[in-house]
Amino acid sequence: MDTTLQQRIEKALAAFPAKGRIHWQVDYEPLSIDTFEEKVKAIFTNYFDADYVEQNFALPEDFRIFLMLCPAPLQIPHEWEVLYDAQKILDHLPDYYNWYDQKLLWRRKHNENQKSDTMWLHFASWSDKHDYLIGCDRSSKTFGKVYDAYDDHPWMEDSELLNRRKSKSFVKFLEKW
């Protein structure tokens, strides 16, 4: 584990109470990072070839460290901005893909995949329009970058998502959040 990254993430998390960000009270045990990764891979095999997932799925190191350190979702009280923990990301993942996957699944079925057909995790939201996504596909130039999917998603033709990069890395996003 990169200790410099871990220190930056710990510092950002430690600053959150002063910024009004609090952890939700949850009634579940935090997922281990290995369990989280295995469950995410299993979900992704519904949308991508299993070999592709095995070969290309990876959590960016800074995001992986965050998931190991964050015991529950973070939220600004009375605001719509939420940063999810591993369990909430996993809970939302099938819904997120099912909501947007029609064209993605059609292209997969007809062997017409596009460069944009890559793996993403929805890890935070703001309002009902902003979903923050992190690229988790090593084969893509979006790997490790954070995007604001403002009423958009990465699999839509002519998506504007790639023009709305929020941060070059998760740790930079976290430090600004």
Mean pLDDT across the stretch 52-60?
Answer: 96
Q: Determine the Cα–Cα distance for residues 41 and 49; give it in Å rounded to an integer.
A: 11
Residue 58 has pLDDT above 80, yes or no: yes
Say what the pLDDT of residue 94 is. 81
The lowest-confidence range among 26-30, 35-39, 159-163 is: 159-163
Residue 98 has pLDDT above 90, yes or no: no
Residue 117 or residue 54, greater confidence: 54
- pTM of the full structure: 0.85
Residue 173 has pLDDT above 60, yes or no: yes
Residue 38 or residue 104, greater confidence: 38
Say what the pLDDT of residue 68 is. 92
Say what the pLDDT of residue 62 is. 96
Q: Determine the Cα–Cα distance for residues 138 and 53; give it in Å rounded to an integer.
A: 10
Mean pLDDT across the stretch 146-175?
Answer: 71
